[in-house]
């Protein structure tokens, strides 16, 4: 399973959050976590997915895809 960071970036940008720092502040999660999500280094865990859904309205189904990362 892979994480669709592009969907997160698009949703954040639509709300005016154009940097990982702005996203982290709005979601209330550490900057480094968000940086790793948007660069594709890590996928968010359950707490991160909940923060994304609460903040940007993206469900885990929309963020997690069944295809392996290339």
Q: What are the CA-CA distances from residue 67 to residues 20, 35, 53, 63 (Å)? A: 25, 22, 21, 12
pLDDT at residue 67 in the model: 53
Which residues, given as ranges, of the chain have pLDDT below 70? 1, 66-70
Other Cβ atoms closer than 10 A to 59: 10
3-state secondary structure of 58: coil
Question: Which secondary-structure segment (H or E) carries 3?
Answer: strand 2-3
pLDDT at residue 66 in the model: 53
pLDDT at residue 1 in the model: 66
pTM: 0.88
pLDDT at residue 2 in the model: 84
3-state secondary structure of 68: coil
pLDDT at residue 65 in the model: 76
**Residue 48 contacts residue 3 (beta carbons within 8 Å):** no
């Amino acid at each position: 399973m892979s994480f669709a960071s592009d969907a997160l970036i698009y949703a954040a940008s639509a709300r005016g959050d154009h940097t990982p720092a702005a996203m982290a502040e709005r979601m209330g999660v550490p900057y480094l976590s968000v940086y790793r999500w948007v660069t594709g280094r890590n996928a968010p865990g359950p707490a991160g997915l909940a923060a994304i859904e609460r903040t940007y309205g993206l469900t885990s189904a929309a963020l997690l895809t069944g295809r392996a990362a290339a």
